[in-house]
Structure 1
Amino acid sequence: MQHQQLYTTLNNGIQMPLLGLGVYDMYQQEAEQAVSWALETGYRLIDTAAMYNNETEIGNAIRQSLVQRSDIFVTTKVHNDDQGFDPTLRAFDKSLQNLRIDYIDLYLVHWPIRATRKETWLALEKLYSEGRVKAIGVANYLIPFLDELQTYNSIVPAVNQVELSPYLFDKDLVEVCQNRKIQLQAYTPLVRGLRMNDPKLLAIATQYSKTPAQIILRWAIQHGISSIPKSANLKRLQENFNIFDFHISPENMSFLDGFNENLRVVEDPMDLF
């Protein structure tokens, strides 16, 4: 039995599902099939990016789905090569064209590229103020990037999507985002499987009769953090979604919070600062 998806209200009042599907490194038929299965399973947030080269397939799956477009939250991101003011506006049009959907729910600056991140953000503000996108945000913005953004933005990002897991748990970033009303979203929350055999994690999973992946995803949700685990496997997709029927105790949440080992599986954004 699938339980109800949980939602968060972004700082501009729109609703976003807390759990979504990330489609990084999925191509052609695999990408399309994964999104179709995800929507059938109950996922309502699909996260892609121009850089992933699969917007066309993602759009196909969304249009072919029996789920109403208004019930699906679609995120895409501006490619690093397309950053800058005018190039970003063109890149947005191209993403919309590739997806072949009427609108994009959330548009993100994919990486904080030093030379172009300011102009890129200002382009996103223009898209938003013209009503061309429902929400705008950033990805891979650690605290120094968010502080810098505050010196020129007139719109607070609705979302900040970063690499985050119990093994990379930046409490300061969580706090800053909460204080500034920026919804934090975790990508690679399952650490690409690297810690699924951690005895500490397995002990908690056993306690709740859940898988290690389900424990990690539930942990994020209880922190109010959105997460977008990636899977193209139907069984895995269903397993990752099946996290709405249990609750991790405060003691176990604190225990999981202590797993941090600054384990990154993706580049460190600070290398760009």
Structure 2
Amino acid sequence: MILQEEYTLSNGLKIPKLGLGTWFINDNKAAQTVIDAVKIGYRHIDTAQAYQNENGVGEGIKACGVNRDDIFVTTKLAAEVKSYKEAVASIDVSLGKLGLEYIDLMIIHSPKPWAEFHGSKPYFEGNQEAWKALEEAYQAGKLHAIGVSNFEMADIENILDACSVKPMVNQILAHISNTPTELIQYCKNKGLLVEAYSPIGHGVLLKNPQLIEIAQKYDVSVAQLGIRYCLQLELLPLPKTANPEHMKTNAEVDFIISDEDMQFLKNMDPIENYGEASKFPVFGKK
């Protein structure tokens, strides 16, 4: 069962192979979402400062009835935090909001502030400063692993050029029809585990007739097909849902996509329009 399987990060830390994303889950609903997920068997919860639900996630972890050490918690340093001083303070704010003595994994949410996500300024210096703060919190035991999100190769090289602790994770948009294979291979070569957010393409994949047909062949849903696809690429999918039934089915991915179908899925035309989600920088072109 996938909920009991783990990857091993470059520092030896075990991380569950499937996580629960919590983007768009309100703070007042986050605790119950975590409790429901843990009851189903999830042991990996992904949040962020930008989601504004760290309080609720922390409450859910305390109330779920499972030992803290048995749950892997990820949060993200806000994309706008690009100075050492701000980052140091921001890490402590997350610890306080979550109400935890340590965070399993903390990552820089984006190499650029969201308002400048498609801009040309790389923020190399700011990312090195934020990274220094993460390194110190890691060495102090506040964080058990550190990484990045939405980082391209140049952004990662910038960190590797200056770091004393290498990033362990890069969390990126990756799903059927949008699989950045070159970046994924680069990350693997550098020892970074790639986590895949929006493994169902923010829901857009669910309407694709070709995917519906392939999913039917395996007697699964398109969501399950998308999650399994990521797993077969050795990525760590983070499907987001507050619905316990969806949580359950998202974890029922004990099937194998054939090599032929994997090749087809890898080479599908990319999604050009994510609908309403296109207004968000990671889904939009500008």
**TM-score bracket relative to the smaller structure:** over 0.9
Task: In structure 2, give the amino acid aligned to 1:233.
Answer: N
| Runs of at least 4 residues off by over 3 Å | 262-266, 268-272
One-letter identity of the residue aligned with 1:53: Q
Matches within 5 A, 1:86-125: 86-113=85-112, 114=123, 116-125=126-135
TM-score, length basis structure 1: 0.93
Question: Alpha-carbon deviation of 1:271?
Answer: 8.7
Letter in 1 for 2:179: F
Following superposition, the deviation at residue 179 of structure 1 comes to 0.6
String of CA shifts for 1:220-260, please: whole Å, max 9, x gaps. Answer: 011110011111112111111111x2111222211211125
The equivalent residue for 2:220 is: 210
Per-residue deviation, 1:16: 0.3
User: Which residue matches 1:246?
Assistant: 255
Structure 2 length-normalised TM = 0.89
Give the number of equivalent residue pairs. Answer: 270
| Superposition map of 1:1-273 within 5 A | 4-113=3-112, 114=123, 116-243=126-253, 245-261=254-270, 263=272, 265=278, 266-268=280-282
Q: Please report how far the alpha carbon of residue 29 of structure 1 lies from its aligned counterpart in structure 2 after TM superposition.
A: 2.9
Segments of 5+ residues of structure 2 without an aligned counterpart are 113-122
Identity within the alignment, %: 34
Please report how far the alpha carbon of residue 268 of structure 1 lies from its aligned counterpart in structure 2 after TM superposition: 4.6
CA contact (8 A) 2:84 2:129 kept: yes
Is the contact made by 2:104 and 2:143 (CA closer than 8 Å) also made in structure 1?
yes
1:166 & 1:47 partners in 2: Cα distance?
Answer: 21
Aligned CA-pair RMSD? 2.0
- 1:142 and 1:83 map into 2 onto residues whose CA distance is 17
Q: Is the 8 A contact 2:49 2:94 kept in 1?
A: yes
- Of residues 28-37 and 67-76 in structure 1, the stretch that sits farther from structure 2 once superposed is 28-37
**Unmatched tracts of structure 1, length 5 or more:** none
Note the C-alpha offset of 1:144: 2.0
TM-aligned CA deviation for residue 269 of structure 1: 9.7
Q: Counterparts of 1:164 and 1:89 in 2: how far apart (Å)? A: 30
1:32: Cα distance to partner?
1.6
Which amino acid is 1:49 matched to? A
